[in-house]
Structure 1
Amino acid sequence: METSIIKIGNSKGLRLSKTILEKYNIKDKVELILEKGQIILKPIDSPRKGWEKEFKRMNKNGDDRSLMNDVFEDENFDEWN
């Protein structure tokens, strides 16, 4: 596929069609990989997006408590001395 480089202010850019953006699930950012004389654009997935908001909600609801005890009943602290 051939596409034109376009002027964007003092820089230049590459315009991607809506079809390509949807097909490759490209949202706001891409990773730019320079490899063996090629430029590769790779979609960046943000799996942790929104986690901070959810952690705050969990804290507010009291759902952020530890699921395990800090100390186990059979733990031997003497071996750490």
Structure 2
Amino acid sequence: MPTVVKTRIIQIGNSQGVRIPKLLLEQVHWDEDEEVMLELQSDQIVLRPTHEARQGWEAAFKTMSERGDDEMLDGDVVSTTSWDEEAWTW
């Protein structure tokens, strides 16, 4: 179910603005200084982040691999069962 919050358009210098409640920013994982795009769709204004989700992850994982820092942290805890050995196709 979507979160709905009522707010007002306010004067900010020579422009208008909308205060976005912290609750909404947390739900979309945005920081308070997040850069966003404003998109007009019919009679709605839509906010979108300017960055792609998981942007930079590929390069970070490659760097981790090159440094040998890509091992499972709980590798010694994970154990296989007889089902893993007998029934699962690896």
- TM-score, normalised with respect to structure 2: 0.46
RMSD: 2.3
Mapping of 1:64-75 within 5 angstroms?
none
Query: Which has the higher relative contact order, 1 or 2, with Cα contacts under 8 A spaced 6 or more apart?
Result: 1
Q: Which of 32, 44, 50 pairs up with 1:44?
A: 50
Letter matched to residue 21 of structure 2: S
Question: Runs (4+) of structure 1 moved beyond 4 Å?
Answer: none
Stretches of structure 2 lacking an aligned partner (at least 5 in a row): 60-65, 67-90
Stretches of structure 1 lacking an aligned partner (at least 5 in a row): 52-62, 64-81
Mapping of 1:2-81 within 5 angstroms?
2-27=6-31, 28-45=34-51, 47-48=55-56
Letter matched to residue 47 of structure 2: L
Structure 1 residue 26: Cα displacement: 2.1
Query: Kindly, what percent of the aligned residue pairs are identical?
Result: 38
Q: Specify the SS of the correspondent of 1:41.
A: strand
Letter matched to residue 51 of structure 2: D
Q: Specify the SS of the correspondent of 2:51.
A: coil
State how many pairs are aligned. 52
**1:15/1:5 CA distance change after superposition, 3 Å:** same
Q: Specify the SS of the correspondent of 1:21.
A: helix
Letter matched to residue 22 of structure 2: K
CA distance in 1, matches of 2:16, 2:7: 13
Verify the 8 A CA contact 1:32 1:41 in the aligned structure 2. yes
